[in-house]
């Protein structure tokens, strides 16, 4: 179910260099949207991709090829070669200077098989070596907006790692840029999808007006201790394949079994995670559901690579969440997910300008981002698709205990499922693992009893869990 494997190896890095656009690009200033520059997006987002050796590709160096492709792609995505500045009222804008992005060439004395034996999933061994944090390079303002490291492996495979300033793009936007690099590495003269800036589409209205309830930005007091800054945090990844998801689903009353796999697993983990934290029953807890706005916001054009998501919150108490059946949590998740309308997004943008671009509440939230349809693993530089493409760390630099990603993954048995990195205080993680294993075992046993006609009423299963 989970992985905590480690592997030690050495990485030799060349000196970092700046890669500039292959052709001259316009100088100017481009404002970010009021969705882009909210406080909680002012961090660096790390992603990592692992590629196998391709025997059909000879005498082609992935480092050289990708570096040249980056320079070509920056001609189209030239704002990435600029620097972020902050103006009046903390408004962010890009100065398109053409200074370039950071690039690191590296070699590692390890094979992909050795890495795969240690499990290619967060937390990754020697991540700081595979995506080196160049001193003084990771500030939000006045620093390169992207850092790319390409590491050759002994077997002929390689690792592509990227760190992106999240205010510039969300996951879809970064994948769009990476896809452009990959296409140009394969010989394309231009990206198949041209980048579109148009950040004003997600700006506040004039005058701004908050028309929706935004529990994700509630300013609440920390009455029972926040878990965001503890030092004893442990990260593990958990795989949910068809067997686990089916067992959980079959424990639900019939009318809830049509829920999506996201709603099912998000509610299940939120409830189990809250139980493991042993909060007071009256403590408020929130589930923040990251919703892609590209399918909901009709005015966003193809090629838009800014942040285009909202995370409406479900609000309840720890007692209500943990003491009620799983269906209670599923209903809350479904309701939060449905709130992310176009009007809701406009209301968020207006709230940003009215309230000074606040951070979402960091007191007892749980955030889930489903990245199964982003296409991270589809990025092909010419060596084929990545055998893993996704977040480099479970929390993606945000706040270590708050966010999980739903990552598409095929396990070593060949089963397609969902990988979920989770970060908790050490004692809570121990409780979580025990609760998860016991809960899944009970679910499978009860489902077997139903299928063997020992239990005739599906409602009995839900009440037994």
What is the structure's pLDDT at 395?
A: 41
Angle made by CA atoms 222, 225, 228, in degrees to the nearest 5: 95
How far apart, in Å, are the Cα atoms of 373 and each of 171, 173, 355, 411?
Answer: 10, 13, 33, 18
Q: State the pLDDT confidence band at 59, using cuts at 50, 70 and 90.
A: confident
Residues 369 and 222 grouped into a single domain: yes
List the helix and strand counts (H, then E) for the chain.
11, 19
131 token code pair: 């995506």
Contact present, 63 and 107 (Cβ < 8 Å): no
Q: How far is residue 397's CA from residue 345's CA, in Å, rounded to a whole number?
A: 24
Residues 225 and 295 grouped into a single domain: yes
Q: How far is residue 317's CA from residue 415's CA, in Å, rounded to a whole number?
A: 36
Domain of 21, in residue numbers: 11-199
Q: State the pLDDT confidence band at 396, using cuts at 50, 70 and 90.
A: very low
Domain finish residue from 199, 229, 248:
199
Give the pLDDT mean for 370-374.
94
Residues 239 and 384 grouped into a single domain: yes
What is the structure's pLDDT at 4?
A: 40
Residue 273 domain flag: yes
Q: What is the pLDDT of residues 20-34, one digit of tens each?
A: 999 999 999 999 999
What is the structure's pLDDT at 296?
A: 79
Residues 171 and 246 grouped into a single domain: no
Domain finish residue from 169, 199, 229:
199
pLDDT tops 70 at residue 464: no
SS3 348: helix
Residues 56 and 170 grouped into a single domain: yes
What is the structure's pLDDT at 433?
A: 97
Residues 93 and 231 grouped into a single domain: no
Tokens 């050490």 sit at which residue? 426
Q: How far is residue 76's CA from residue 108's CA, in Å, rounded to a whole number?
A: 32
Residues 130 and 267 grouped into a single domain: no
Residues 156 and 259 grouped into a single domain: no
Residue 227 domain flag: yes
Catalytic residue among 166, 215, 370, 439: 166
Please compute, for residue 98, the number of CA atoms within 13 A of its CA located in the half-sphere on the CB side. 11
Exposed, middle or buried by CB within 10 Å (0-12, 13-18, 19+), for 305?
A: buried
Domain finish residue from 167, 199, 231:
199
Give the sign of the dihedral formed by CA 193, CA 198, CA 199, CA 203: negative
What is the structure's pLDDT at 46?
A: 93
pLDDT tops 70 at residue 5: no
More confident: 58 or 369: 369
Give the pLDDT mean for 240-244.
94
pLDDT tops 80 at residue 197: yes
pLDDT tops 60 at residue 3: no
Residues 333 and 371 grouped into a single domain: yes
Per the annotation, the verdict on 380 as an active-site residue is: yes
Average pLDDT of the chain is 90
CA-closest candidate to residue 304, choices 203, 197, 145:
197
Q: Give every CB contact of residue 445 below 8 A, 6+ residues apart in sequence.
A: none
Residues 194 and 220 grouped into a single domain: no
Residues 167 and 246 grouped into a single domain: no
Asked which of 232-241, 343-352, 386-395 is least confident by mean pLDDT, the reply is 386-395
Residue 205 domain flag: no
Give the pLDDT mean for 195-203.
96
Asked which of 12-16, 117-121, 398-402, 410-414 is least confident by mean pLDDT, the reply is 398-402
Per the structure, how many domains does the chain have?
2
CA-closest candidate to residue 364, choices 293, 264, 259, 288:
288
Residue 427 domain flag: yes
Q: How far is residue 46's CA from residue 393's CA, in Å, rounded to a whole number?
A: 7
How far apart, in Å, are the Cα atoms of 72 and each of 19, 189, 190, 302, 428?
Answer: 10, 9, 8, 21, 47
Residue 3 domain flag: no
Please compute, for residue 243, the number of CA atoms within 13 A of its CA located in the half-sphere on the CB side. 11
DSSP, residue by residue, 16-52:
PEEE--SS----EEEEPPTTTTSGGG-SEEEEEEEE-
Angle made by CA atoms 27, 33, 36, in degrees to the nearest 5: 105
* HEC string for 422-444: EEEEHHHHHHHHHHHHHHHHHHH
Q: What is the pLDDT of residues 33-44, one digit of tens each?
A: 999 999 999 999
Residue 297 domain flag: yes
How many C-beta atoms lie closer than 10 Å to residue 200's C-beta?
Answer: 9
Q: What is the pLDDT of residues 420-463, one digit of tens each?
A: 999 999 999 999 999 999 999 988 887 777 667 655 555 555 55
What is the structure's pLDDT at 410?
A: 86
Give the pLDDT mean for 200-212.
96
Exposed, middle or buried by CB within 10 Å (0-12, 13-18, 19+), for 13?
A: middle
Residues 333 and 439 grouped into a single domain: yes
Per the annotation, the verdict on 350 as an active-site residue is: no
What is the structure's pLDDT at 230?
A: 58
Give the pLDDT mean for 74-96.
96
- The CATH number of whichever domain residue 18 belongs to comes to 3.30.559.10
Residue 232 domain flag: yes
Q: How far is residue 101's CA from residue 92's CA, in Å, rounded to a whole number?
A: 19
User: Helix, strand, coil proportions of the chain in percent (round to 5)?
Assistant: 35, 25, 45
Give the pLDDT mean for 210-225.
80
82 token code pair: 């600029």
Share of the chain above pLDDT 70, in %: 91
* Cis status of the peptide bond prior to 253, with omega within 30 of 0: no
Catalytic residue among 218, 283, 331, 380: 380
What is the structure's pLDDT at 412?
A: 80
First and final C-alpha spacing in the chain: 20
Residue 463 domain flag: no
Q: State the pLDDT confidence band at 118, using cuts at 50, 70 and 90.
A: low
Q: What is the pLDDT of residues 122-162, one digit of tens each?
A: 888 688 899 999 999 999 999 999 999 999 999 999 999 99
Exposed, middle or buried by CB within 10 Å (0-12, 13-18, 19+), for 107?
A: middle
Contact present, 85 and 31 (Cβ < 8 Å): no
């Amino acid at each position: 179910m989970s992985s905590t494997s480690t592997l030690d190896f050495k990485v030799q890095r060349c000196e970092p260099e700046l890669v500039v656009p292959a052709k001259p690009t316009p100088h100017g200033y481009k404002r970010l949207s009021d969705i882009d520059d909210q406080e909680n997006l002012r961090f660096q987002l790390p992603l990592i991709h692992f590629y196998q050796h391709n025997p059909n590709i000879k005498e082609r160096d992935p480092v050289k090829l990708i570096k040249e492709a980056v320079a070509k792609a920056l001609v189209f995505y030239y704002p990435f070669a600029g620097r972020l500045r902050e103006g009046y009222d903390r408004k962010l804008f890009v100065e398109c200077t053409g200074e370039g992005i950071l690039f690191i060439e590296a070699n590692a004395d390890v094979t992909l098989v050795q890495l795969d034996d240690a499990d290619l999933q967060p937390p990754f061994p020697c991540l700081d070596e595979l995506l080196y944090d160049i001193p003084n390079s990771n500030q939000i303002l006045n620093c390169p907006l992207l850092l790319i490291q390409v590491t050759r492996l002994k077997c002929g495979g390689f690792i592509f790692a990227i760190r992106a300033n999240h205010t510039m793009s969300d996951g879809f936007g970064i994948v769009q840029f990476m896809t452009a690099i990959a296409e140009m590495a394969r010989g394309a003269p231009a990206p198949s999808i041209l980048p579109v800036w148009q950040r004003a589409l997600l700006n506040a209205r004039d005058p701004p007006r908050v028309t929706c309830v935004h529990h994700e930005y509630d300013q609440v007091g920390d009455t029972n201790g926040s878990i965001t800054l503890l030092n004893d945090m442990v990260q593990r990844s958990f795989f949910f394949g068809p067997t686990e998801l089916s067992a959980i689903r079959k424990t639900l009353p019939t009318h809830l079994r049509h829920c999506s796999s996201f709603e099912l697993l998000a509610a299940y983990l939120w409830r189990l995670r809250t139980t493991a934290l042993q909060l007071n029953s009256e403590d408020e807890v929130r589930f923040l559901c990251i919703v892609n706005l590209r399918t909901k916001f009709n005015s966003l054009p193809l090629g838009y690579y800014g942040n285009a998501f909202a995370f409406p919150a479900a609000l309840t108490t720890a007692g209500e969440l943990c003491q009620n059946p799983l269906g209670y949590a599923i209903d809350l998740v479904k309701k939060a997910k449905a709130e992310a309308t176009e009007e809701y997004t406009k209301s968020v943008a207006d709230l940003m300008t009215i309230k000074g671009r606040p951070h979402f509440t960091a007191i007892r939230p749980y955030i889930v981002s489903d990245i199964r349809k982003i296409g991270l693993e589809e990025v092909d530089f010419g060596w084929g698709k990545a055998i893993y493409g996704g977040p480099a760390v479970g929390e993606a630099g945000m706040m270590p205990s708050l966010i999980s990603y739903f990552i598409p993954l095929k396990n070593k048995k060949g089963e397609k499922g969902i990988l979920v990195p989770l970060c908790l205080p050490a004692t809570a993680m121990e409780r979580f693992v025990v609760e998860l294993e016991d809960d899944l075992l009970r679910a499978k046993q009860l489902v077997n009893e139903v299928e063997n006609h020992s239990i005739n009423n599906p409602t009995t299963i839900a009440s037994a869990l």
